[in-house]
Amino acid sequence: MSAQTMTAVVHDRYGPPQVLRLEQVERPVPNDDEVLVRVRATTVNRTDCHVRAAKPFLWRFFGAGLVRPKQRQSGSDFAGEVVAVGDAVTTFAVGEHVFGTSGDRFGAHAELLCVRESALIAHKPADLTFEEGAAIADGALAALAILRHIDLREGQSIVVYGASGALGTAAVQLAKHHFGADVTAVCNTKAVELVRSLGADTVIDYTREDFTRSGERYDVVLDAVQKHSFRRSRRSLKPGSPYVATDLGFLWHVPLLALLTRWIGSRKVVFVLERPTRDDLALVRELIEQGRYRAVVDRTYRLEDVVEAATYVETGQKTGNVVLTVEPRTPRQ
C-alpha cells in the first residue's frame, strides 16, 4: 500500500455479499469544508445490503445506478479520528474522535473517509468505544425521525415490533427515555432480557405470544423490521392511531396504503422520509452522555471479513448492530 492509496470495500456489480471485495483505492483529500477521518469502526446495515443487491430493482432508479453501482465504495456509519481538516473547517481539529454517518455518499467501509463539516458528524463521547460510536447513527437517527413525525407523547402506548434490531433497540430507548411513552417491545427469545434492560415496560416473545391477540389497544404500532403488517396490526390500534412502516425498499404498496387510509378507516398507515439533522445527532449524543441511550453491538468483524458480516446481516437475526473494525496500517513508501 502506497502513501497515496488506502484499503476500501468496493463492488462493481449488484449481487449477494460475495460481490464485495477489498481494493486499494485513491486516498481522499479533504476540500476546504471537509474533515478527513481515519475510520476505526463502521457498520453493515440493512441499507448497505439493499444498495449492494439493488433489491428491489427500483433501487436502481433512485441514484444507485441502473446497470452497475454508481458508488463503488460501501458503508455509511463510522467512528474514528480526525487526521486532516479543510481550511474552512472550525468545528473539528486533528486528533479529535468523531462519529456519524456519510449518508448517501457512502464510502465508510474504508480506512479513510471525507465528510463535510456540515454533515452528520459529531464529537464522540469520551467513554464510548469506536465500535459503540459507529453503532449509533443508523438506528437512532431513523427512530428519532419516526417518533417525532408521529408526535409521540408522554404517557402514550407504543408497540415496537422487531425491538432487537438497530432501529428497534433505538426506538425502545428513545420512546421510553426521551418521549416518555409506555413501551411494549416485541422480539425473539434470545433478546428478551436485553430489550427489557433498554427500558421497555412490557416485553413480548413473538415465538410464544401474538401481541395482536391480547385485546390491548395501542396509540402506535411501529414495525421496525417490516415482518408484520397493517392488516394484522389494525385491530390492536386505537381509532385514529398509526401503523408505522419502516422498510419501503421492499414494500412499495405502503405509499398506496398510506394514501387510502388517510381517507378510509380510522387507523392510518404512516411512513417517514424525513432527513435527520445535526441537531438530531447532537440530541442523541446528549442522551448518551446522560446515560439514557446506548448503542447495541451484536457482532464485530474485521474489515476484511465484510462478506461474512453482510451475510449475517441478511439472515435478519442480528441484535442491534453489526460492526466492522478497521485497523490502522502503516503505508509503505
Domains of the chain: 5-136+295-325 (3.90.180.10), 139-271 (3.40.50.720)
Interval 288-308 mean pLDDT = 97
Confidence of residue 257 (pLDDT cuts 50, 70, 90): low
Looking at the predicted structure, is the pLDDT value of residue 58 above 90?
A: no
Range with the poorest average pLDDT among 25-34, 44-53, 102-111, 306-315:
44-53
pLDDT exceeding 90 applies to what percent of the chain?
A: 73
Confidence of residue 275 (pLDDT cuts 50, 70, 90): confident
Confidence of residue 79 (pLDDT cuts 50, 70, 90): very high
Write down the pLDDT at residue 250.
47
Interval 179-194 mean pLDDT = 97
pLDDT exceeding 70 applies to what percent of the chain?
A: 88
Query: CA-to-CA distance for 53 and 114, rounded, in angstroms?
Result: 25
Looking at the predicted structure, is the pLDDT value of residue 203 above 90?
A: yes
Interval 115-129: pLDDT, tens: 999 999 999 999 999
Grid cell listed for 324: 466492522
Higher per-residue confidence, 104 vs 300: 300
Interval 39-54 mean pLDDT = 91
Buried b (16+ CB within 10 A) or exposed e, 202-239: ebbebeeeebbeeeeebbbbbbbbbebebeebbebbee
Confidence of residue 56 (pLDDT cuts 50, 70, 90): low
Interval 256-269 mean pLDDT = 61
Residue 304's CB: how many other CB atoms inside 10 A? 14
Confidence of residue 331 (pLDDT cuts 50, 70, 90): very low
Interval 273-296 mean pLDDT = 93
Residue 300's Cβ-count burial label (10 Å; 0-12, 13-18, 19+) is middle
Write down the pLDDT at residue 332.
40
Question: Which residues lie below 8 Å from residue 133, measured CB to CB, with a gap of 6+?
Answer: 41, 79, 97, 99, 124, 125, 295
Question: Which residues lie below 8 Å from residue 131, measured CB to CB, with a gap of 6+?
Answer: 41, 79, 297, 300, 323, 325
Looking at the predicted structure, is the pLDDT value of residue 333 above 50?
A: no
* N-to-C CA span, the chain: 8
Interval 218-229 mean pLDDT = 89
Looking at the predicted structure, is the pLDDT value of residue 259 above 70?
A: no
Size of the chain, expressed as the number of residues it contains? 333
Confidence of residue 111 (pLDDT cuts 50, 70, 90): very high
Looking at the predicted structure, is the pLDDT value of residue 89 above 80?
A: yes
Interval 145-167: pLDDT, tens: 999 999 999 999 999 999 999 99
Write down the pLDDT at residue 258.
53
Query: CA-to-CA distance for 185 and 168, rounded, in angstroms?
Result: 8
Question: Which residues lie below 8 Å from residue 63, measured CB to CB, with a gap of 6+?
Answer: 70, 104
- The pLDDT mean for the chain works out to 89
Looking at the predicted structure, is the pLDDT value of residue 260 above 90?
A: no
Higher per-residue confidence, 71 vs 213: 213
CA angle 288, 320, 107 (to 5 degrees): 85
Q: What is the dihedral of CA 72, 139, 224, 267, to 10 degrees?
A: -110
